[in-house]
Amino acid sequence: MSRFTTFQPRALTAGAVLAVSALALAGCTADAPVEEDGTIAVVASTIVYGDLVSTLGGDAVTVTSLIDSAAQDPHSYEASARDQLAVSEAELVIVNGGGYDPFAEALYEAAGAGAILVTAVDESGLLDDEDHADEETDDDHSTDDGHDHIEGFNEHVWYSFHAMEHIAEHITEELTSLSPDDADMFDTNLAGYLSDLADLEAQADTIAETAEGRGVAITEPVAVYLLQAVGLHNDTPSDFTEAIEEGTDVPPSALLEVLALVEDDHVALLAYNDQTSSPETERVREAAVEAGLPVVSFTETLPEGSDYVEWMTSNLDALAEALAS
């Protein structure tokens, strides 16, 4: 995420976690969950995974999404006492991992790790342990803001339909272990979800027939998995996207290279992270608009009133329209 977002990055320190934990467990009775109703208490770091587990768990789960709005920045989100209390009482906690939502992992650790933890990055099938296992936290792109990014790995795994298949299957296994009596319902819900993902993949394949391996420019690697699914390839210099994502200075040469991509008709579209911006990304967007290049906006969390399938269908429709222009 960019350092120029509305929410300024502030990592959740160990001291802050302990303070939050103490406050949550000592007070906050007004914010405490309602009495147990026999459902599985689930906490998800973002509404993307909250929506997923709600779809899979149905009436057997009660889900709390810590980040439930596109106006909230997972990288700089400051956990509250209410968040810590929810995690401390959860039976299942779902985080993205990969340095994306360190606040949620810190809450889980502060709660004593009593719940089952699902880390989407680990279950996605996208992380090649042989290539990346030794690079976490010590690589050149890890920062001191609590973001333990993995060099060369795109942690935005929810934009990969195949990754969501694996994640959904694993969550279903965990739900079944917590409530075996609901196994048949969980399996039915999973089958329906996998069918919806198959439809999304078919829609992406249809778009790929006309994309013809064309290039794109991006401001951040948020939607790269989706862009690849429709047959596009990212031509943006990594120095630019890494600087934007880490909140460091963009090398002038990288900015000039991106501007050349969008101004000289070298790419089919600009994929813009609409949830955060900086002077550099705004300059790139303005250059694209002036050049008549389609700009497709993406977010990192679900739009209000939308579920995952509707969201991704809308993203695919926008890509198809941009490529046809």
User: What's the pLDDT score for residue 277?
Assistant: 83
Residue that the structure tokens 């694209």 belong to: 288
The pair of three-digit structure tokens given for residue 134, joined into one six-digit string: 């030794």
What's the rounded mean pLDDT across residues 73-88? 88
Higher pLDDT, 9 or 96: 96
Instruction: Please give the pLDDT value at position 147.
Output: 44
* 35 pLDDT more than 50: no
Q: What is the per-residue pLDDT across 257-283, written as a single tens digit (0 to 9) for each? A: 999 999 988 899 999 998 878 999 999
* pLDDT value of residue 76: 75
Q: What is the pLDDT of residue 282?
A: 96
Contacts of 319 (CB under 8 A, 6+ apart): 207, 226, 227, 230, 232, 269, 296
Degrees (nearest 5) of the Cα angle 231, 165, 320?
Answer: 30
Q: What is the pLDDT of residue 30?
A: 32
Q: Three-state secondary structure along the chain?
A: CCCCCCCCCCCCCHHHHHHHHHHHHHCCHHHCCCCCCCCEEEEEEEHHHHHHHHHHHHHHEEEEEEECCCCCCCCCCCCCHHHHHHHHCCCEEEECCCCCCHHHHHHHHHCCCCCEEEEHHHHCCCCCHHHHCCCCCCCCCCCCCCCCCCCCCCCCHHHCHHHHHHHHHHHHHHHHHHCHHHHHHHHHHHHHHHHHHHHHHHHHHHHHHHHCCCEEEECCHHHHHHHHHCCCEECCCHHHHHHHHHCCCCCHHHHHHHHHHHHCCCCCCEEEECCCCCHHHHHHHHHHHHHCCCEEEECCCCCCCCCHHHHHHHHHHHHHHHHHC
CA distance 165 to 158: 10
Pairing mode of beta strands 92-95, 40-46:
parallel
**pLDDT score of 231:** 97
- For 175-212, write each residue's pLDDT tens digit: 999 999 999 999 999 999 999 999 999 999 999 998 98
Please give the model's pTM, rounded to 2 decimal places: 0.84
Q: Which domains does the chain have, with CATH numbers?
A: 14-195 (3.40.50.1980), 197-324 (3.40.50.1980)
Taking only the tens place, the pLDDT of each residue in 131-171 is 444 333 333 333 333 445 677 799 999 999 999 999 999 99
